[in-house]
Structure formats: structure tokens, C-alpha cells
Amino acid sequence: MTLRRMPLKRLLATIAAVLVAGVVLTAIASAVSGGPTPPAKPLAQAVHDAMAGPKPTGVTASVQFTNRLLEGAGIVAGEGGESVTSSPLVAGGHGRLWISSSGEVRLELQSESGDTEIYWKDGTLTVYDVASHTAYTYTPPAHGGPHPAHASKTPPSVAQIEEAIAKLEKHAEVSGAQPTDVGGRAAYTVRVSPREKGSLIAGAELSFDAENAVPLRAAIYSTSSSEPVMELAAEGIAYESPEASIFEFKPPAGTKIEVVKPATRPARPRGAADAPTTAVHGHGITAVGEIQLKSKGGGSEGSLSRLPSVSIGQAKARELKTALGTILTFEQDGVRYLLAGAVEPAAVEAAARER
């Protein structure tokens, strides 16, 4: 039956049904998309175009940090038995992020158990734990490369980016540029996965703004879950210059300042008195690293006492398994051993027994 021959009542009902279906489908499509997405492009072209875009004078955004690395580990710290997993750096949290055009950064994370503030300014990293009134500062050693302020303002060519991707693909699988949106901004997401199998690391993702290459989301995945183990994502993004005072760390009265100093000389040969020694068992992403330290004695395990124990020869070791790897520690003949790797516990235990 054609529309011309259809009874008026049925024709109106049909038109009404089509309109309703159109409204519903439009609403569903809008809900699924969630925001603007950029056009599909090859990865090298997407990176080049984003880097060639206008440079923002600064970034202000809300952030959500997810961290499932130590879920269920039951680690405690201090004589009071307070869980270290209450820190937003360990348990995750929400907060605010500021970045200046000169590369200064401030990140605030809040949680029910306390806040953490992170600053990067003048080549120094400061991490302030509000709950313990302690600030940790670290200044990495200077390197011989060009200062970011003196770096070339010309973005690399598509050919140069393709060359860099080709080098990376010798060791990892690199996805294309997946069009998406992050925090209401059109973005591309790229995933990098290790080619070597046998580790607990499935890969990492980075989402960057399609217009200016600003990173908007980063995530690390485990082989045991499709959900990210660690993820930092921005929303409510504004490209504006933050006030300079935002990046000034002013510790409250009574704050304890802990200065973390980098090593100023290479580790001594194995067996030197009181010097930590290192070793690597295996190679690649499945390698297990080992550190040996002179034991301080006393036998106190402190926050490690709740971890599962395994036997390594005559020693009782404490073992921490996470979604991304395993840490094993024990004392033997006056030496504290610490082994870690992005592998299952059995692989770390085998490395410990084969020393």
C-alpha cells in the first residue's frame, strides 16, 4: 500500500511512529558518542596534525585517578596499623590539575583519608602528603639534552613520526589512532602492547587532544582484566593560563621536609661492605630485578607481616602480588633480598631460589 492510498488515520500514526523512533535513535546516538570525535586518520598524521595545532597557554582540568594495583593487599604502615592504601596515590581519588605554558605542573588528589599534592617546578618534584604533614622533594640529575624551553617549535614531519613508530613496533604492537572524546574534547587514543609474552602487563593507552596534542588520559592494563589497573583522566578541561602562585608550594607550619637524593656514585661491586648490589635475572619485560642490602637486624617485618609467606631455602619470604607484577623480600645470612618483576609469583620465586 502506498502512502497516497493509506487511510489518513493510519498515515498519521505511521508518521508519529517514525518521528518517535527518530527522536529515540538520536538520543541513543548522542548518549553513546558522549562528545565530539575527530575524523579518522593514520596515527602518524594524527600526531603531526595535533602537534602542529595551536599551543595552549596553560591547562586547567578536573581529574579522576584510578588505582587498583594494591586492591586486597592488606598492607599497613606504622604502629597504629593505618593502611597505606588509604592514600589517594595508592587507592585513587579525584582532584584538579594545572599546567603552565612553561611546563610547571600541580596535581591535587583528594580522598576520604587525606589529600596528596604534587608539584613540578624548576626541575624539582615535590609530593606533599597532607595526612602525615610530610613533603618529599626530589631533584633529578641534570642531563645533557636541550632544555624544553629551547626545544624546536617546529613539529616533526609525518615521515619522522612514522620512523619513530617503526622503531617502537620492533618491541611493541602499536594501534592506530582511535577517534574518541575525553572530557568533552575530540581526541585520539593509541594503545601500545608488548610483543613479548609472559608478563602481567597487557599494554598502555594514551589519549591526546586532536587539536593540540595535550595528553588527556593515560592508562595501564593487566593481562588479568579488561579494566585499567591505573588510569588518570581529565574532564572539564579549560585551556587557560593558571596564576603563577598556583605552582608555589608553601608548606604549612610543622611540615616535615624529606629530601630524596639521587645516587651520586655507581653501586659498589658485589660483596662490598654496606653497599647495595643489583642483579637481573632473565631479560626483556619478563626479567626479574634483584637488590641486596645489608640487613639492619632485629627481624621486624613491620608492614610486611600481613603478606603471604613462602619458603626460599631456609628463609621465610614475604610476597606481594599485584595486577602488574610481584615483589618478594626476605633475609638470609645478614642480607636483605628484594626481588621484583612484572610476572607471576612463581617466576619471582624461581629467580630467588636460583641465585
Give a yes or no: residue 181 inside a domain.
Answer: yes
**pTM flag (> 0.85):** no
Cβ–Cβ under 8 Å, residues 111 and 102 = no
Over range 17-23, report the average pLDDT: 45
Q: Quick count: other Cβ atoms within 10 Å of Cβ 11?
A: 13
Q: Do residues 88 and 163 both lie within one domain?
A: yes
How many percent of the chain have pLDDT more than 90? 61
| 208 plus 323 within the same structural domain | no
Whether residue 273 contacts residue 293, with contact meaning beta carbons closer than 8 Å, is answered with no
pLDDT at 40 over 80: yes
Structural domain includes residue 27: no
**193, 227, 260: which is the final residue of a domain?**
260
128: β partners: 117, 135
Would you say residue 252 lies in a domain? yes
Both 340 and 229 in one domain: the answer is no
Confidence of residue 90 (pLDDT cuts 50, 70, 90): confident
260, 295, 314: which is the final residue of a domain?
Answer: 260
Residues 170 and 131 placed together within one structural domain of the fold: yes
Q: Is residue 295 a part of any domain in this protein? A: yes
Q: List the 288-294 sheet strands across, edge first.
A: 277-281, 288-294, 335-341, 326-332, 315-321, 309-312
Does any domain span residue 12? no
Cβ atoms of 54 and 211 closer than 8 Å: yes
327 and 298 in a common domain: yes
Q: Which residues are within 8 A (CB) of 263 and not within 5 positions of it... i.e. 6 or more apart?
A: none
**Residue 207 and residue 292 in one domain:** no
What is the tally of structural domains in the chain?
A: 2
Residues 328 and 195 in one domain: no
Judge whether 270 and 278 are in contact, CB under 8 Å: no
Is the pLDDT confidence value at 16 over 60? no
H-run or E-run covering 31 = helix 8-33
Query: What CATH number did the domain enclosing 67 receive?
Result: 2.50.20.10
Q: What confidence tens digit (pLDDT) does each residue in 274-302 have?
A: 667 889 999 999 999 999 988 766 555 55
Question: How many CB atoms within 10 Å of residue 267?
Answer: 13
Question: 256 and 301 share a domain?
Answer: no
Measured CA to CA, the distance from residue 205 to residue 173 in angstroms comes to 12
In a domain, 268, yes or no: no
Separation between Cα atoms, residue 32 and residue 39, nearest integer Å: 17
Report if residue 324 sits inside a domain. yes
DSSP per position, 326-338: EEEEEEETTEEEE
Residues 294 and 183 in one domain: no
Average pLDDT over residues 222-239: 94
Cα separation, 290 vs 329, in Å, equals 10
Residues 317, 183: one domain? no
Confidence of residue 34 (pLDDT cuts 50, 70, 90): low
Position 269 in a domain = no
Which pLDDT score is estimated for 307? Answer: 84
Q: Of 232, 260, 288, which residue is a domain's last?
A: 260
Q: For 134-169, what is each residue's pLDDT tens digit?
A: 999 999 887 655 554 445 578 899 999 999 999 999
Do 77 and 176 fall within a single domain?
yes
Pair (211, 83) in one structural domain: yes
Please give the pLDDT value at position 72: 60
The residue range of the domain holding 238 is 43-140+152-260
